[in-house]
Amino acid sequence: MKIIPAIDLMNGQVVRLVKGDPKQKTVYSNEPVVVAKKWEEDGADMLHIVDLDATLGLGENFEIIKEISKNITIPVEVAGGIRNIDKISNTLNFAQRVVIGTIAMELKENDKEQILVDLISQFGKERLVISIDHIDGKIVTHGWQKNTGIELLKATNDFVKYGFSEFLTTNVLRDGTLKGPDVTTLEKICEINGINVIASGGISKLDDIKKIKSCNPYGIILGKALYDGIISIGEAKTIRH
């Protein structure tokens, strides 16, 4: 199980939001490259970098994310506002993986199969991570602002049929709350054959990491608990083995 710190960016700053709400924002640093290097030095397996400005349509932090990737050696996974082929391509020029959610969920049924198959053919399924973030089991998009009404497990199985294997799931109502992860839903997703799932949202203590590990996910994202000093990367790594 990979230990993956999140670096969420707004206006060039490292921040954390509560349930994706930009009005509930805590700023942790004005130096994202320094933060990224610290997490690498502490033993992170990968970084999950989210451009919150891009996902909310407020601007972008693309050059900063590129700068982070130049200054570390561990893999970088980039999420937030990646909603067209050019953005996917440009991001994969320096990042190992991109997370796509809105673009994948909003494809018209007639076009969906061809476009998704083309995406895998062009970029490789191991570099494309499908975001299956949800509220009460229904997929949300556009920076968690829009509820699609699409059922979580059905959506995941559909993407598996198209050839995707990498998924990231967050229970939005838990994210940034330190109220514990949604293990029940995670278990159901991890039971789907042939996929790698990264779990995110609500982790508040080492026992939460143990519970998530029992579901056998590919990785776990650490956010607020890490930034608040409640959990360290080193502690998380002792549990993952």
CA atoms within 13 A on the CB side of 56: 15
Q: How far is residue 86's CA from residue 88's CA, in Å, rounded to a whole number?
A: 5
Contact 143, 20 (CB under 8 A): yes
Contact 201, 194 (CB under 8 A): no
Is 133 an active-site residue? Answer: yes
Considering the candidates 133, 175, 182, 208, report the single residue annotated as catalytic: 133
> In whole angstroms, what separates CA 113 from the centre of its chain?
23
Q: How far is residue 221's CA from residue 201's CA, in Å, rounded to a whole number?
A: 8
- Record the tokens describing residue 9, joined without a space: 């960016």
- Record the tokens describing residue 221, joined without a space: 């994202």
User: What is the edge-to-edge ordering of all strands in the sheet holding 138-141?
Assistant: 134-135, 138-141, 146-151
Sign of CA dihedral 211, 180, 20, 134: positive
Is 118 an active-site residue? Answer: no
Considering the candidates 8, 51, 175, 182, report the single residue annotated as catalytic: 8
Contact 107, 141 (CB under 8 A): no
> In whole angstroms, what separates CA 78 from the centre of its chain?
8
Q: How far is residue 67's CA from residue 195's CA, in Å, rounded to a whole number?
A: 30
Neighbouring CB atoms inside 10 A of 186's CB total 23
Tell me which residues are annotated as active site. Answer: 8, 133
